[in-house]
Structure 1
Amino acid sequence: MKTLITGGTVVNATGRSRADVLVDGETVAALVDPGSTALAADLAAGVDRVIDATGKYVVPGGIDAHTHMEMPFGGTYASDTFETGTVAAAWGGTTTIIDFVVQYPDQNVLDQYHRWHEKAAGRCAVDYGFHQILSDVQDDSLVAMDELVAEGVTSFKLFTAYKGVFLSDDGQIFRAFQKGAENGALMMVHAENGSVIDVLQQQAVAAGHTTPFYHGTTRPWQAEEEATHRAIMLADLAGVPLYVVHVSAKQAVEQIAAARDRGKNVFGEACPQYLYLSLEEQLAARSEEWGDLEGAKWVCSTPLRARAEGHQDAMWQALRTNDLQLVSTDHCPFCMRGQKELGRDDFTKIPNGIGSVEHRMDLIYQGVVDGRISLERWVETCSVTPARMFGMYGRKGVVQPGADADIVVYDPAGRTSIGLEATHHMNMDYSAWEGFEVDGHVDTVLLRGEVVVADGAFHGRPGNGRFVRRDLSQYLI
């Protein structure tokens, strides 16, 4: 099938231009100057479908490089399946996700990788890739890293927090970093000092401080900055590129920026919650139904930071200046009923996570409207850089001939109201973004040339998403 998208403004990271986009089958066939009337007329005569994008932006489909579908955590599972989560992603203009394969200490790395394929295969409504979590780095883990790189899984995540669950000691992290330096993988780290956090949490609970607010105060910015610096030093010693996930503290950004100023391949990820939400709102959160537990809706790790300390503005600035390179969600949703309420009497038992996969493109576009970032930077951080960072660029992350026709027609004159459970498509019984208004709207979404969202309806199908075998990172200095 041939599709012609007419009248729109094509936006890539390098700029914007008026162009019609011809899609032939699953790929972009041509970008056509609309002033070439004869050529445009010839193209229009040979197409099966015309999409009118007049007054709208035509941008590459979003890539959310940090999701956790069906993730086991805290005695329960993330509430979005690969089916529900990827349908929600499509509604929000995201056409590719990269999910994390979870390995706990008693599990085999490759066995877990195959389990994730079984979970996702035939269920995803958008394309998907995998990162691999390593929680217990042994000799067989290092062998598995080579095998996974050959499979197109070219990034690995380690933790400096969650003792007995995910935490690896410095020696284990360093060995994995060394292997990454050998096989070209991009190494990722959840950077918080878990030992300090464990002490602070035990002390808080002993003192009777059990409400969700104390989740944030017992994971202070110092614990994030210290672990970020430590990971940077270990990566430098191993000679491997480092990607710090879900950066929330301005002091951690400073560590990343300082390393980059020294010419190091160190990168950082922003998330919508750290750009918009704060510890103060979490403290004030109460409801008739949940009381103080209302604040559990915003329990995530790294935690929300104090607005009074300027963390949110610092995150936007870092995104603008490229001290943070891209925006992912860390989408790890849990319902209040039966999940978040597990921590009613003890905040340490609240499953950590916020659901945002449906809202990322809209929320970051609002930054364009508010003058925080440019239109091109929006596309760069939400689509282009994730593709480059994680070895998909050329196929994904760009509207150009030969690329997959993953395309979003975005209406700057539209409006998106983010509200209650009934108005979103994620498998959650609340929204962390209730009440947010966005001056823009996802109009039409194409996945490899097939219209999956249009006219306020979902036209895709679970199982249409394909596994993306990724190359090595294309973002290195």
Structure 2
Amino acid sequence: MAIILKGGTIVSASGRRQLDLRMADELIQEIGFELRPECDDQVVDVRGHYILPGFIDAHTHFELNNGVTGTADNFTTSSRGAIVGGTTSIIDFATPEPGGTLKDCLAEWNRLAQDKTSCDYSYHMTLIEWNTEVEAEMDSMIEEGITSFKMYMAYDNLRASDADIFEAMLAIRKRRGMLGIHCENGDMVNELIKKTRAEGHLSPHYHPLSRPPAVEAEAVERYLMMAEQADLPVNIVHLSAQRSLEAVIRARGRGQKVFVETCPHYLVLDDSLYDSPGFEGAKYVCSPPLRKKSDQEYLWQNIITDQVDTISTDHCSFNFKGQKELGMTDFSQIPNGLPGVETRPTLIYSYGVATGRISLEKMVDLLSEKIARQYGMFPQKGILQVGSHADVVVWNPQGEGVISVKTLEQAVDYTPFEGFQTVGKPHQVYLRGQLVAEDGQVIQSKKGRFISRGSSDWTC
């Protein structure tokens, strides 16, 4: 039996058309004007709604242990939030144990995700060590459909040397993979934290002061210099600051191919929240930190001018009670990370599309199509066309709401967007043709599958 969505407006990155859509056997089977139902077809009237490709979040930490505590959410709870919000695919960061193999890491992430996840999923493989054995394993990762990798320039337990990053770039270049890096100067962060603590400054107010825009921008500049020498198109994850994006624009002016990702919290929150009453500022501790309103506005301007390519979330949830509170007497001990996978689409619609900053087509590009192209998922994902997966969001542009932790699917005990007024929300969400969420409720769970990805599209 097929499902026909009738009377809606299909939206892609390149335009919109008022057409019907038929889906069956997990795929989009037909798109056309006034499609005629067959005798057993289910017809769904979606007049007044947009029909959008399922959103993709390319930056999640559904299960992460920072060495002290683990995330409040897991693949089960985070993915329920994902589908309710309209995100039908995610790419999570798989992180090996020190001295562990990539193969063992993949097996562990499959154990965490398989038969527990409500959206489709894949992984970036994190490289916390670099040696000949790790390079040899990269080929097996590519064969498994994991074609993107992550490295860190900060965090002592994760960061790689410049020499290791450069060598990894050359290896990834041979395999036509994608590299993303957490760009902060780890030595400077450590010294600034040490200095700030020695001065007795221990509240959340000092978190952004210990990780100023300069330490991000310096790391971006250094990363791009290495990428230029390696002749590798690269990705900058969770870019937060004007100064960092200016470095990217200069590199692009020299002819470099650079992908830039930012996150909703850098677009709608700012560093004044670190001065919230009591210890409330801890809720917003993430790295890079929230920035000034001027950085926020600069990011929006450069989303409009295509200098920012994608918006993902860096979803990494720690409870305020008992977890964020670990840093009650020392901001540097507050677990870093914010939840966001559930709220990203409605935030970008509310504060981007509904305000006139960006078009709905641009939102589809930022949250779906360009991500699919960049990470080797297109046209399986990221677009509504015949033969693609029937990952579909029926979007109600009139739906109004207020974000509240009380109504979210996530398990974490707060949302950084509490009280935000929203307009526009998913009415129905289909994963490979199955209705999995409707009007904020999960209809079917744990239907997600692993996505084997191809080579990155370096030209998109």
The TM-score with structure 1 as length reference comes to 0.94
Does structure 1 conserve the Cα–Cα contact (< 8 Å) formed by 2:233 and 2:458?
no
**Structure 2 match to 1:411:** 396
Is 1:265 the counterpart of 2:249? The answer is no
Is 1:301 the counterpart of 2:293? The answer is no
The CA deviation string for residues 271-321 of structure 1, in whole angstroms up to 9 with x for no partner, is: 0000011101222x11xxxx2x211100001110122xx100111112111
The CA deviation at 1:457 is 2.5
**Structure 1 match to 2:217:** 225
The CA deviation at 1:85 is 0.6
**Structure 1 match to 2:186:** 194
Residue 123 of structure 2 aligns with an amino acid whose one-letter code is: F
Q: Secondary structure at the match of 1:44?
A: coil
* 1-structure distance, mates of 2:437, 2:43: 15
The CA deviation at 1:186 is 0.6
* 2-structure distance, mates of 1:161, 1:457: 39
**Structure 2 match to 1:10:** 10
The CA deviation string for residues 37-76 of structure 1, in whole angstroms up to 9 with x for no partner, is: xxx3xx2243432221111100000000000011111411
Q: 1:203 aligns with which of 195, 207, 211?
A: 195
Residue 307 of structure 2 aligns with an amino acid whose one-letter code is: D
Alignment of 1:101-112 (within 5 A): 101-112=94-105
Q: Secondary structure at the match of 2:399?
A: coil
Alignment of 1:431-446 (within 5 A): 431-446=415-430
**Structure 1 match to 2:411:** 427
Closer, same or farther in 2 for the Cα pair 1:401/1:46, shift >3 Å? farther
Alignment of 1:152-163 (within 5 A): 152-163=145-156
**Structure 1 match to 2:108:** 115
Is 1:320 the counterpart of 2:304? The answer is yes
- Cα RMSD of the aligned pairs, angstroms, is 1.1
* 2-structure distance, mates of 1:386, 1:95: 13
Q: 1:449 aligns with which of 401, 417, 433?
A: 433
The CA deviation string for residues 205-245 of structure 1, in whole angstroms up to 9 with x for no partner, is: 11111111211111010000010010011011111111000
Q: 1:236 aligns with which of 228, 235, 251?
A: 228
* 2-structure distance, mates of 1:268, 1:258: 13
**Structure 1 match to 2:453:** 470
* 1-structure distance, mates of 2:228, 2:301: 25
- Percent identical: 39
**Structure 1 match to 2:129:** 136
Alignment of 1:39-118 (within 5 A): 40=35, 43-118=36-111
The CA deviation at 1:326 is 0.5
Q: 2:344 aligns with which of 331, 351, 360?
A: 360
**Structure 1 match to 2:158:** 166
Residue 152 of structure 2 aligns with an amino acid whose one-letter code is: F
Residue 233 of structure 2 aligns with an amino acid whose one-letter code is: P
The CA deviation at 1:112 is 1.1
Does structure 1 conserve the Cα–Cα contact (< 8 Å) formed by 2:145 and 2:453?
yes
Residue 379 of structure 1 aligns with an amino acid whose one-letter code is: V
Is 1:33 the counterpart of 2:37? The answer is no
The CA deviation string for residues 135-167 of structure 1, in whole angstroms up to 9 with x for no partner, is: 11111111112221111110111111012x111
**Structure 2 match to 1:379:** 364
* 2-structure distance, mates of 1:202, 1:363: 36
Q: Secondary structure at the match of 1:77?
A: coil
The TM-score with structure 2 as length reference comes to 0.98
Alignment of 1:272-291 (within 5 A): 272-283=264-275, 285-286=276-277, 291=278
Q: Secondary structure at the match of 1:22?
A: strand
* 1-structure distance, mates of 2:439, 2:338: 28
Does structure 1 conserve the Cα–Cα contact (< 8 Å) formed by 2:93 and 2:123?
yes
Q: 1:388 aligns with which of 365, 373, 378?
A: 373
* 2-structure distance, mates of 1:422, 1:276: 21
Residue 108 of structure 1 aligns with an amino acid whose one-letter code is: T
Residue 254 of structure 2 aligns with an amino acid whose one-letter code is: R
**Structure 2 match to 1:339:** 323
Does structure 2 conserve the Cα–Cα contact (< 8 Å) formed by 1:4 and 1:47?
no
Does structure 1 conserve the Cα–Cα contact (< 8 Å) formed by 2:85 and 2:440?
no
Structure 1 residues not aligned, in runs of 5+: 35-39
Q: Secondary structure at the match of 1:4?
A: strand
Q: Secondary structure at the match of 1:179?
A: helix
Q: Secondary structure at the match of 1:402?
A: coil
* 2-structure distance, mates of 1:122, 1:239: 39
**Structure 2 match to 1:37:** none
* 2-structure distance, mates of 1:329, 1:57: 23
Q: 2:142 aligns with which of 142, 145, 149?
A: 149
Q: Secondary structure at the match of 2:398?
A: coil
Q: Secondary structure at the match of 2:168?
A: helix
Does structure 1 conserve the Cα–Cα contact (< 8 Å) formed by 2:97 and 2:105?
no
* 2-structure distance, mates of 1:387, 1:197: 33
* 1-structure distance, mates of 2:271, 2:195: 20
* 2-structure distance, mates of 1:297, 1:82: 21
* 2-structure distance, mates of 1:21, 1:4: 6
Residue 355 of structure 1 aligns with an amino acid whose one-letter code is: P
Does structure 2 conserve the Cα–Cα contact (< 8 Å) formed by 1:104 and 1:136?
no
Does structure 1 conserve the Cα–Cα contact (< 8 Å) formed by 2:312 and 2:367?
yes
* 2-structure distance, mates of 1:103, 1:461: 28
The CA deviation string for residues 432-463 of structure 1, in whole angstroms up to 9 with x for no partner, is: 1101111111100000000011244311122x
Structure 2 residues not aligned, in runs of 5+: none
Tell me the matched-pair count.
459
The CA deviation string for residues 381-400 of structure 1, in whole angstroms up to 9 with x for no partner, is: 00101100100011100011
